[in-house]
Structure 1
Amino acid sequence: MGLLAFKDAVHLVARTGLGAEWAAVKQLEGRTQQAAVAWVLHPAASALKPVPRLTPWLKLEPMRLNDMKSRNSAWSISQREGKLLQAWWVEQMLTTRTPFVERMTLFWHNHFTSSIQKTLQPSLLYQQNLLLRRHAVGNFAELLRGMARDPAMLVYLDGYQNTKEQPNENFARELLELFTIGRGHYRESDVKAAAKAFTGWGVDNDTGKFIIRADQHVAGQSTFLGKTGDFSGDDILNILLAHPRTAERLVDKIWLAFVSNRPDPAVTSVWAQQLRGSGYDIQKLLETVFNSEPFWALHNRGTVVKSPVELVIGTARMLSYPRESTEEMLNLCRLLGQELFDPPNVKGWTGGEYWISTQTLLVRNAYLAKLSRGNLDDSVASPLKLPRVPDEQLIEWLLPVKPLKPLPVTPGARRLVRALLLDPAFQVS
């Protein structure tokens, strides 16, 4: 590929940002593919919005562990502050100059799930979000080690209860099944060995910080994935990082998020080997992915269903229609099946075609119809400011494939844009 044509710049921005924003597309149009990918992977810094005031661990945790009245009070505080935290992230996504960082933070949030409802600790979830941001396009090995020590994760998967007297296997099980090698590649004995290695890893009751309580660690020989030793938690993580399936499963997830709805094993196996060889450098992996033939292939365009966040926030970033309130956007995402800081379970959001059902498609179309309502006569003043380009370019901008419905007979950019938003092809990228 030589210099990026307009439709190719749209494809790159749509897949890596939050909506195919016109300014970003024009920024990349005419650049070489490698230069455009580098622009995406090395964005200028964008400041975070100030976080709302959140109750610290020390004040919520005792209430959660004592009498019912205190637990009810803790629940009420966590729900109220959880909504504030959700609104904070929505507003960050709406205004950021680095949408790719937000997209990758959301990707990791869905890989290493934690929820408000289980943790009852919005302040810890905020700290976890910062951890995900720091490693968003960094190193997966470092991120995995950080998440194993993350207080929100330790509370969410009961890791802080994994002690000598009361062993708890929840974190160890999900570490193997979801975060690394996946089902079919470990035994129950491996789960028990991993849980034993992580005994004593917990959260300091006074500070809410990670702590290892040596007196709660179960020492002694055990066998994990065919290796025998007196393992620590870090030893378990190192063994999992050396296992080929960890890289393979991660590459499959990257493919589904950025390339198409069906991974190609012949390609992903090579990418996984490169990922392990780089020491799990995510930026290098993404550079390979975004410069690959499958990423740019025409048959892979229009194959990734937009998540609720992409649809609601991405459309708002793309077009200058009057925006819904933050509260309304949060409610829309919830109705569409994606509530920030509250995935449905430890497996996270399934995504892909599961985003679309008879009910959610009705809500999606109702949102887009409401957003684009109003006088469609281009001669009448409107808050919608569209680029003065031929209709063909508007179609290439808003749809990854040809429209599936007939276009309006009456001319006019506003009328055309509304029709494109309501076309089924707008639901994919």
Structure 2
Amino acid sequence: MEQQHIQHLYWRASFGIPLNLVSTLQQQSKNQVINQLISNSSLYKPLPFKDLSEFTPFNIRQTSNKKDIRIKSGKTIQKLNLQWLEYMVNSVGIREKMALFWHDHFACAPRNPLFAQQYVEILRANALGNFGTMLIEVSKSPAMLTYLNNIQNVKGSPNENFAREVMELFTLGRDTVYTEKDIQEAARCFTGWKINKEGQFFLHRKKHDTGVKTVLGVTDALEGEDVLLLLLKQKETAYYICKKLYSYLVNEHIREERVQILAKLMYQENYEILPVLKAIFLSNWFYENENIGTQIKSPITFIVGTQRQLNLKISPPQKQIYVQRILGQILLSPPNVAGWKSGTYWIDNNRLMFRLKWVESLLKAVPLSLEPPEIGDDNDPFQETKEAGKMRIEVKLDEFMNYVTGNTDKKDSHEILLNYLLQVNPNPSSIPLLRRNITNEQQLKSFLSKASKLPEYQVC
């Protein structure tokens, strides 16, 4: 594979490629590279988090000091955020990038650490598995039950919030085959979905409507799971999911004929996710120039990709929550159930200036301070993360030096590094500022600082 195509695959399927893999993978075929990437993702490993039983509904109710438990909950969710971020940096497959996609798709902002952990692990465990299985597990998760008010959904007084969003945002998409009546009837099917004192899903029979309902043309004594299975039977669901996958992995400018082929495949494969991903990554069109370097890196992709590409580790890790707040994307805290926006939304004046200076501040250990946007909710677990200041890094630049010296017989050192750092060619006017020999660590840091300020560094 060409170097640019390998890097394109790793940026879209993961968070960029570590430098030490570039030369190795160029000796392999496309099939070999993709199979290895998928193989590296096959083993699911839970985040190494401590027991969170103190945050069960029962134990929280027994706590007399509600302020202390709120503060402790917030700090614990922050730790979960950072653990997941660390897994993203160190992952060598596609599981974490896809889990981030599903976090945006099944957008949820849990306030209980136990619920947050359950939710994250559902996404990570099912990220490459079966969409239907994940849909059912997320729908029954305490995080989603509380976020979309389904625990208030009871017989005789149905709450339509979850029923509406599961159709509009999680399966069929807006304005498709369902009606307001379908939403109302589906809400009855989800009545009695509750959380027990241990923090697990259960069906409260007395609160559940066992009557006959009609949803999407089917009339029966339908249960909540029956509705989810009905939604999966609609081909519109496969199309909606594949359209979002295409936008996330390929290009926000949708090619209708390609999405239709992917949707047909997903439907035929009973909503298995991996066959669709393989079809995308093995296609020739995925590597066409029109799809390379066309995505503005989301904040999480930018934060994780920079650490992976430059082989650096930020300390203390808590500083990265501040960076997430500044850049506008906080793991476990999407703005609403519709998830995050994308594209040019990530680039306003403040965010762009921070992006342009952040890598330099890391490499040169210069404090970089900017007041993050306010969070309106005082109970938000990320409300307290305003601290900026100096971020220390551990950085191993010897790999870069070896990479440069091992290739300088073919190209100038600045060209070698730019080919790795950027997916598109920089503006010609930038080249004179970067054209210099790199023979020591100081020169390399200076080069990386300047290269990271290029507009082309913001896209992948």
Whether TM-score is above 0.5 comes out as yes
- Matching residue of 1:81: 76
Unpaired segments ≥5 residues, structure 2: 366-394, 439-443
Letter paired with 1:32: S
Deviations 1:43-77 (A, max 9, x none): 1647555214533213565279xxxx855444323
- Following TM superposition, by how much is the alpha carbon of 1:265 offset from its aligned partner in structure 2, in angstroms? 0.7
- Matching residue of 2:56: 57
Q: For the aligned residues, what is the CA RMSD?
A: 2.2
The yes-or-no answer on 1:400 pairing with 2:402 is no
Residues 371-410 of structure 1 mapped to structure 2, 5 A cutoff? 371-373=362-364, 383-385=396-398, 386=400, 387-388=403-404, 389=407, 390=411, 391=413, 392-404=415-427, 405-407=429-431, 408=433
Contact residue 434 and residue 447 of structure 2 kept, 8 A: no
Contact residue 5 and residue 30 of structure 1 kept, 8 A: no
Instruction: Give me the TM-score of the superposition, normalised by structure 2.
Output: 0.84
* Counterparts of 2:120 and 2:200, CA distance in 1: 15
Deviations 1:260-290 (A, max 9, x none): 1211111101110111110011000000011
- Following TM superposition, by how much is the alpha carbon of 1:137 offset from its aligned partner in structure 2, in angstroms? 0.5
**Compared CA separation, residues 52 and 165, structure 1 to 2 (3 A):** same
Contact residue 60 and residue 74 of structure 1 kept, 8 A: no
The count of aligned residue pairs is 411
* Counterparts of 1:170 and 1:63, CA distance in 2: 29
Q: 2:112 aligns with which of 81, 101, 121?
A: 121
- Matching residue of 2:371: none
The yes-or-no answer on 1:255 pairing with 2:246 is yes
- Following TM superposition, by how much is the alpha carbon of 1:165 offset from its aligned partner in structure 2, in angstroms? 4.2
The yes-or-no answer on 1:41 pairing with 2:27 is no
Residues 88-237 of structure 1 mapped to structure 2, 5 A cutoff? 88-98=83-93, 100-116=94-110, 120-185=111-176, 186-204=178-196, 206-237=197-228
The yes-or-no answer on 1:6 pairing with 2:3 is yes
- Matching residue of 2:23: 26
Unpaired segments ≥5 residues, structure 1: 375-381
Secondary structure, in 3 states, of the residue corresponding to 2:294?
coil
Secondary structure, in 3 states, of the residue corresponding to 1:326?
coil
* Counterparts of 2:172 and 2:436, CA distance in 1: 55
- Following TM superposition, by how much is the alpha carbon of 1:313 offset from its aligned partner in structure 2, in angstroms? 1.7
- Following TM superposition, by how much is the alpha carbon of 1:30 offset from its aligned partner in structure 2, in angstroms? 2.4
**Compared CA separation, residues 421 and 158, structure 1 to 2 (3 A):** same
- Following TM superposition, by how much is the alpha carbon of 1:179 offset from its aligned partner in structure 2, in angstroms? 0.2
* Counterparts of 1:148 and 1:335, CA distance in 2: 31
* Counterparts of 1:296 and 1:153, CA distance in 2: 37
- Following TM superposition, by how much is the alpha carbon of 1:354 offset from its aligned partner in structure 2, in angstroms? 1.5
- Following TM superposition, by how much is the alpha carbon of 1:236 offset from its aligned partner in structure 2, in angstroms? 0.7
* Counterparts of 1:10 and 1:326, CA distance in 2: 26
Which is further off, 257-266 or 69-78? 69-78
Which is further off, 215-224 or 259-268? 215-224
Deviations 1:336-374 (A, max 9, x none): 011111111111111222222122111111212213438
- Matching residue of 2:437: 412
* Counterparts of 2:220 and 2:104, CA distance in 1: 33
- Matching residue of 1:342: 333
**Compared CA separation, residues 103 and 49, structure 1 to 2 (3 A):** same
**Compared CA separation, residues 322 and 243, structure 1 to 2 (3 A):** closer
Secondary structure, in 3 states, of the residue corresponding to 1:306?
coil
Contact residue 301 and residue 401 of structure 1 kept, 8 A: yes
Letter paired with 2:101: F
Letter paired with 1:170: N
* Counterparts of 1:172 and 1:369, CA distance in 2: 47
Contact residue 180 and residue 246 of structure 1 kept, 8 A: yes
**Compared CA separation, residues 267 and 410, structure 1 to 2 (3 A):** closer
Letter paired with 1:189: K
- Matching residue of 1:15: 12
Letter paired with 1:287: K
Detail structure 1 runs of 4+ shifted over 4 Å in the superposition.
46-49
- Matching residue of 2:349: 358
**Compared CA separation, residues 60 and 403, structure 1 to 2 (3 A):** farther
Secondary structure, in 3 states, of the residue corresponding to 2:194?
strand
- Following TM superposition, by how much is the alpha carbon of 1:314 offset from its aligned partner in structure 2, in angstroms? 1.3
- Matching residue of 1:425: 456
Contact residue 55 and residue 114 of structure 2 kept, 8 A: yes
* Counterparts of 1:29 and 1:403, CA distance in 2: 23
- Matching residue of 1:330: 321
* Counterparts of 2:338 and 2:59, CA distance in 1: 26
Secondary structure, in 3 states, of the residue corresponding to 2:364?
coil
